[in-house]
Chain A
Amino acid sequence: MAEPIVDAVHLNKSYGDLKAVSDMTFQIERGEFFGLLGPNGAGKTTTIGMLAGLIEPTSGRLMIDRCDPARDTNKVKAKLGLVPQDFAFYPTLSARENLEFFGRLYGLWAERLEVRIREVLNTVQLSDRAKEPVSHFSNGMKRRLNIAIGLVHEPAILILDEPTVGVDAQSRNAIFDTLELLNQAGVTIIYTTHYMEEARRLCHRVAIIDCGRLIALDTPVELTRSIADSLIFIEFANGLDETFINRLSDLGKARITNPEQGKVQLETGAREQALKGLVELAEESGVHIRSVNVLEPSLEAVFLHLTRKHVRDTAKNGE
């Protein structure tokens, strides 16, 4: 196996008593498209901050392309391209001027800078709008420029934090195409998102983080396979007694999420059989079913299974 481009071993980051990242160990292969998935406050941003050399780990070992970010900070920073979630550029400058400035910070000047600006503008399809002030751009164009700035110095690793927030489907697809092309060209991509379909489409492997801990790491296919066939959410019209819950558990792994309101989450490997059994059981016990919602096997289901949180709901709260 080739040496990983990112090697994180027992990484910890604390702010006083708060443990933002706890004992996190993972490796990212060179050329990999690596996803980081997690709700608000899960520790994604802190993890990215440590990878980008912006936050120093409290303990643990982190190597980026065989360099220690704590010792060779600037050498590591030169290998990384950061695309923050917010639009991090100057709105009164043009796209070209923004690229010129950030390129110069990475030591690009004169002809080399010109060539790179042309290339990245071409990559993100902004060549024809290069001289316009960025404040005139649409959200999608701004997202593409945000990515272009992270690419201007040809980083070996591109770190993207929720790069498709607030863009339309067309722009999102354009961004996906760009990222896939970059990845095919050999750029290692670390991608945080709360959109499951993005992780499924783009990422070779996905790390699921919650409460500062890495709780799962595998390919999207293996992760979905790792949980049961289906998750069934049932809402009963009345409260549930213990006998009923015990009999419900025979149909699968029952988790009572809200017993007062009669809400139950049923995890099963045999969906059809479980649904049939549920109806029969309800009739026998005289319990009325208000609603049944079946969640297909997916990363969303995996996330829900592992964290007991809806990733979209948590994302809406801020991250």
Chain B
Amino acid sequence: MKGFLAQIAAMALKELTILRRDRQALALLFAMPLFFIVVMSYALEGVFEAGSRGRPIQVLVVNEDDGTLAAEAIGDLRQIEGLFLVETIGGGRITSERAEQLVRDQVYPMALIFRRDFSGRLQAKATTGSAAEAPCVVLMVDPAMNRQLIAPVKGLIQGDMERRQVIAAIPQRIKEAFARLSEKAGEMGPHVGDVEKEFVASLDLKELGGTNNASKLLALSAPKGFGAERRPTTTEQNVPGYAIFGVFFIVLTLASSFIREKEEGTFLRILAAPLPKTALLIGKLLPYYVVNLIQIALMFSVGILLFDMKPGNVAALTIVSLAVSAAANGLGLLVAALGKTEAQVNGLAVFFAITLAALGGMMVPTFVMPGFMKTLSRLTPHAWALSGYHDVIIRGLGVRAVLPETAVLLGFACLFFAIALWRFSFR
């Protein structure tokens, strides 16, 4: 047993020394995913986090209304988290022409323009119910802007406009109700007007129109057991995604190493030594497994140190990491077994690394994929690994919660190893 372990140690030590001197392999395994994490986190911050408290969407506001309702609506919008209203530039009010120019020049992504008769039209619609022919408020956007960003902003503004309209209609509707009442009860005639005034006065319409009430009515929550009640940041999306992406690039390094040993004859020489084949395989795979764990630790450290990512339960993260590394090593051995030349191995490894990563949601989140693609993504170890990491980092879950993902990942590892050993030729 001691000799067996010593031989494994010798194999592993040799492999690590060779890997340590292979700058290209190190760049592929460490620099590439790190680069992706840093660059993509910064680059996609706008997509993932636009509209959040830390990164609000800037909206130019042009108020041409000659009444008071536009100012009240603007007051409402100021309270909405995720929107930052730019109402003046250089101390002066913004005109619609200036706003259009600024959107055209891509200085601001959108402008909200309240037309001159905004209050009048809103009042008219509220009292007569007739819709204005031309819109009284315009949201002007750069056509190149992401539709996913426009939709929520449009929804927020639309919602506020409708609420304003309802509020504007309330006094008129009450007046109509009391008028109908006074017709039926003639003896109360002189007092109805006083009751009506008192009733309307008792309604704090300003308070009804404020957004604070809405926020009190709607509380953000998460399913029972999910610790986090916050949206994931770009980093929390990207770090695990690109860490998994990088982990599976071990397939290329590992499989190439097997083929190179076969082509260069060192494998033959190792086989001529009194070394059990199990020791050979364990000694050869062990360093790559360790490298995978170092990769993951490094990627997550970057996320924590540079982007202030909260790692969550470390034990749960470790379990998922151990399982995903096993799956990656299994796939590496499988590719080494299937490829006969270094060119074949490189082709297969890159194909698996890129295709499975794309399918598994490393590049495009699975929630934006069509239904059949989502189903396909569940056939990749990547998707399960990402799900496991998201359970821990975003949903704040612990060891027990990631056991299903871990089991599936280990299942993938067993499947890959079984096929690899069946197909592997030591000659």
Chain A residues close to B by CB (< 8 Å): 52-54, 73-75, 77-78, 80, 82, 84, 86-90, 92-93, 97, 101-102, 104-107, 109, 149
Q: Is the CB of B266 within 8 A of A106?
A: no
Q: Is the CB of A87 within 8 A of B265?
A: yes
- Within 217-271 of B, Cβ neighbours of A (below 8 Å) are at 264-266, 268-271
Chain A residue nearest to B272 in the complex (CB) = A82
Could you say which residues of chain B place their CB within 8 Å of the CB of A109? 6
Could you say which residues of chain A place their CB within 8 Å of the CB of B9? 104
Q: Is the CB of B269 within 8 A of A149?
A: yes
Could you say which residues of chain A place their CB within 8 Å of the CB of B274? 73-75, 77-78, 105-107
Q: In the complex, what distance in Å separates the CA atom of A149 from the CA atom of B270?
A: 11
Q: Which of A101, A102, A105, A107 has the most CB of B within 10 A?
A: A105
Could you say which residues of chain B place their CB within 8 Å of the CB of A93? 14, 17-18
B402 to chain A, nearest CB (A): 38
Q: Is the CB of A101 within 8 A of B10?
A: yes
Q: Is the CB of A105 within 8 A of B10?
A: yes
A190 to chain B, nearest CB (A): 13
> Which of B13, B264, B272 interacts with A77 by CB under 8 Å?
B272
B299 to chain A, nearest CB (A): 26
Could you say which residues of chain B place their CB within 8 Å of the CB of A97? 14, 17
With A74-B274, A90-B18, A92-B22 in contact, is A104–B6 under 8 Å at CB?
A: yes
Q: Is the CB of A92 within 8 A of B21?
A: yes
Q: Is the CB of A101 within 8 A of B14?
A: yes
13 pairs, A vs B, C-beta closer than 8 Å? A54-B427, A74-B274, A82-B272, A90-B18, A90-B266, A92-B18, A93-B14, A102-B273, A104-B9, A105-B7, A105-B10, A107-B7, A107-B274
Q: Which 7 A-B pairs have the closest CB atoms?
A: A104-B10, A88-B265, A74-B274, A105-B273, A86-B265, A82-B272, A77-B274
Q: Any chain A CB within 8 A of the CB of B145?
A: no
Q: Is the CB of A88 within 8 A of B269?
A: yes
Q: Is the CB of A84 within 8 A of B10?
A: no
Could you say which residues of chain A place their CB within 8 Å of the CB of B92? none
Chain B residues close to A by CB (< 8 Å): 3, 6-7, 9-11, 13-14, 17-18, 21-22, 264-266, 268-276, 427
Could you say which residues of chain B place their CB within 8 Å of the CB of A106? 273-274
Could you say which residues of chain A place their CB within 8 Å of the CB of B270? 105
Q: Is the CB of B271 within 8 A of A54?
A: yes
Could you say which residues of chain A place their CB within 8 Å of the CB of B10? 101, 104-105
Could you say which residues of chain B place their CB within 8 Å of the CB of A105? 7, 10-11, 270, 273-275
Q: Is the CB of A53 within 8 A of B269?
A: no
> Which of A77, A86, A87, A90 interacts with B273 by CB under 8 Å?
A77
Could you say which residues of chain B place their CB within 8 Å of the CB of A54? 268, 271-272, 427
Q: In the complex, what distance in Å separates the CA atom of A86 from the CA atom of B10?
A: 23
Q: Is the CB of A88 within 8 A of B266?
A: yes
With A74-B274, A77-B274, A101-B14 in contact, is A88–B268 under 8 Å at CB?
A: yes
Could you say which residues of chain A place their CB within 8 Å of the CB of B21? 92
Q: In the complex, what distance in Å separates the CA atom of A106 from the CA atom of B11?
A: 12
A269 to chain B, nearest CB (A): 45
Chain A residue nearest to B279 in the complex (CB) = A105
Q: In the complex, what distance in Å separates the CA atom of A80 from the CA atom of B14?
A: 22
A303 to chain B, nearest CB (A): 27
Q: Is the CB of B18 within 8 A of A53?
A: no
Chain B residue nearest to A97 in the complex (CB) = B17
B58 to chain A, nearest CB (A): 54
Chain A residue nearest to B260 in the complex (CB) = A90
B24 to chain A, nearest CB (A): 12
A142 to chain B, nearest CB (A): 12
A173 to chain B, nearest CB (A): 25
Q: Is the CB of B6 within 8 A of A107?
A: yes
Q: In the complex, what distance in Å separates the CA atom of A74 from the CA atom of B10?
A: 17
Q: In the complex, what distance in Å separates the CA atom of A78 from the CA atom of B273?
A: 7
Q: In the complex, what distance in Å separates the CA atom of A105 from the CA atom of B7?
A: 5
Could you say which residues of chain B place their CB within 8 Å of the CB of A52? 272
Q: In the complex, what distance in Å separates the CA atom of A250 from the CA atom of B186?
A: 157
Could you say which residues of chain A place their CB within 8 Å of the CB of B7? 104-105, 107
Q: In the complex, what distance in Å separates the CA atom of A73 from the CA atom of B21?
A: 34
Chain B residue nearest to A104 in the complex (CB) = B10
Given contacts A88-B266, A106-B274, 18 further A-B pairs with CB under 8 A are A74-B275, A75-B274, A77-B272, A84-B265, A84-B269, A88-B264, A88-B268, A88-B269, A89-B266, A93-B17, A101-B10, A101-B13, A102-B273, A104-B6, A104-B9, A104-B13, A105-B275, A107-B274
Could you say which residues of chain B place their CB within 8 Å of the CB of A102? 269, 273
Q: In the complex, what distance in Å separates the CA atom of A86 from the CA atom of B13?
A: 24
Q: In the complex, what distance in Å separates the CA atom of A257 from the CA atom of B14?
A: 55
Could you say which residues of chain A place their CB within 8 Å of the CB of B266? 88-90
B128 to chain A, nearest CB (A): 86
Q: In the complex, what distance in Å separates the CA atom of A77 from the CA atom of B3?
A: 15
B394 to chain A, nearest CB (A): 42
Could you say which residues of chain A place their CB within 8 Å of the CB of B17? 93, 97
Q: In the complex, what distance in Å separates the CA atom of A198 from the CA atom of B388?
A: 65
Q: In the complex, what distance in Å separates the CA atom of A78 from the CA atom of B274?
A: 6
Q: In the complex, what distance in Å separates the CA atom of A89 from the CA atom of B264?
A: 8
A272 to chain B, nearest CB (A): 50
Q: In the complex, what distance in Å separates the CA atom of A80 from the CA atom of B269?
A: 11
B123 to chain A, nearest CB (A): 82
Could you say which residues of chain A place their CB within 8 Å of the CB of B276? 74
Q: In the complex, what distance in Å separates the CA atom of A109 from the CA atom of B13?
A: 13
Could you say which residues of chain B place their CB within 8 Å of the CB of A104? 6-7, 9-10, 13
Could you say which residues of chain B place their CB within 8 Å of the CB of A87? 264-265
Q: Is the CB of A86 within 8 A of B264?
A: yes
Chain B residue nearest to A79 in the complex (CB) = B274
Chain B residue nearest to A77 in the complex (CB) = B274
Could you say which residues of chain A place their CB within 8 Å of the CB of B271? 54
B104 to chain A, nearest CB (A): 58
Q: In the complex, what distance in Å separates the CA atom of A87 from the CA atom of B265?
A: 7
Could you say which residues of chain A place their CB within 8 Å of the CB of B265? 84, 86-88
Q: In the complex, what distance in Å separates the CA atom of A93 from the CA atom of B14?
A: 9
